[in-house]
Amino acid sequence: MEVGGLPLRTWTWDGGGATTVLLLHGFLDVGRTWSFVVEALPDDFDGHVVALDWRGHGESGWVGPGGYYHFADYARDLEVVTRAVRRDRLALVGHSMGAQAVGMWLGARPRGADAALLVEGLGPVPLPEAAYPGRMATWLDQTAPFDAERWLRPMRDLEHAASRLQRLNARLTPERAARLAGWATTEGPGGGLVWCYDPLHRTTSPVPVPSAVAAHFWAGVRCPLGWIGGAESRWTGPALDAWLDGLPLGLRRHLPGAGHMVQNDQPQALAAALVEFLAAV
């Protein structure tokens, strides 16, 4: 499908049922990161499961010269994608950045989904107002002009890519690392392999959504909400707990043995929690 002429890639596992489960990956990830969770779903799960490659990620299109990536763009992507894929019921599952996009879209479309499960949804990142000019200056330094090669770190082969993934996440098994490496890389402009996201994502976002504004979006959500996090996530702490305390969560759980990348670390436990959440809503 396309949004404003930009092609978006989806991956589908169709159990034939009336509930569409739309899986939304996080920053610099790919839609197929959810494959391990889908494979762990019970045999009798009949959901129509769809995973999206966000714009500038995986096999979806890049914005091209002069463009940039803003959360408003992700909300617009959700507007189009949900219309295209939903059946009778729609459940959103967003990881990290994907969870933030879910909050923005559902804040504007309070009845847009029947349920939403936030996986390592971290809430707004507080930023003092006085820091905004400095962020804008950093963004200008990075993007005017933008040098994509500055952000590339080519890898020799898939084995090299898998080793990098395991260096970033020691919980990742060799088998999962190898599969992720195959999904998340592409041929680099100068040879070797590079990650298949637009290097523009690596630059500093110039105007992040203020915490007070984000709170109004979340306050507008009307569908049942759940939250799953990793017990070993580096983001666990008082600030996250305070944000979660303000949400009407029907499910709130930390999964043992998982860090931030819950879907890669404990896919069986996450699949079970997803089934439990959907059964309750």
Nearest to 48 by CA among 1, 84, 102, 3: 84
Which CA distances in Å does 30 have to 124, 133, 210, 245?
A: 22, 32, 27, 30
CA–CA separation, 278 and 79 (whole Å): 22
Predicted confidence at residue 126, as pLDDT, reads 84
CA–CA separation, 106 and 78 (whole Å): 10
On the question of pLDDT at 144 being above 90, the answer is yes
Q: What is the mean pLDDT of residues 127-151?
A: 95
On the question of pLDDT at 215 being above 90, the answer is yes
Residue 165: CB partners within 8 Å, gap ≥ 6?
A: 172, 177, 180, 181, 184
Q: What is the CATH number of domain 2-128+206-280?
A: 3.40.50.1820
Predicted confidence at residue 192, as pLDDT, reads 94
User: What mean pLDDT is reported for the chain?
Assistant: 97
Nearest to 225 by CA among 123, 118, 120: 118
Top mean-pLDDT range of 64-73, 85-94, 116-125: 85-94
**What ranges make up the beta strands (E) of 102-178?**
115-119
Find out whether 237 and 271 touch, Cβ atoms under 8 Å: no
First-to-last C-alpha distance (Å) of the chain? 29
Reported confidence tier of residue 80, pLDDT bands at 50, 70, 90: very high
Nearest to 61 by CA among 5, 102, 23: 5
Dihedral sign for Cα 184, 85, 56, 202, please. negative
Cα 101 to its chain centre, rounded Å, is: 8
Predicted confidence at residue 124, as pLDDT, reads 85
Nearest to 149 by CA among 182, 204, 191, 181: 191
pLDDT tens digits, 218-249: 999 999 999 999 999 999 999 999 999 999 99
Q: What is the mean pLDDT of residues 248-252?
A: 97
Q: What is the mean pLDDT of residues 154-160?
A: 97
Find out whether 161 and 188 touch, Cβ atoms under 8 Å: no
Neighbouring-strand partners of residue 186:
194
CA–CA separation, 275 and 251 (whole Å): 12
Q: What is the mean pLDDT of residues 200-204?
A: 97
CA–CA separation, 15 and 244 (whole Å): 32
On the question of pLDDT at 114 being above 90, the answer is yes
On the question of pLDDT at 75 being above 90, the answer is yes
Query: Which strand (E) or helix (H) includes residue 8?
Result: none
Q: Report the percent of the chain where pLDDT is more than 90.
A: 94
Q: How many CB atoms lie within 10 A of CB 85?
A: 18
On the question of pLDDT at 133 being above 90, the answer is yes
Q: What is the mean pLDDT of residues 12-18?
A: 97
Find out whether 264 and 36 touch, Cβ atoms under 8 Å: yes
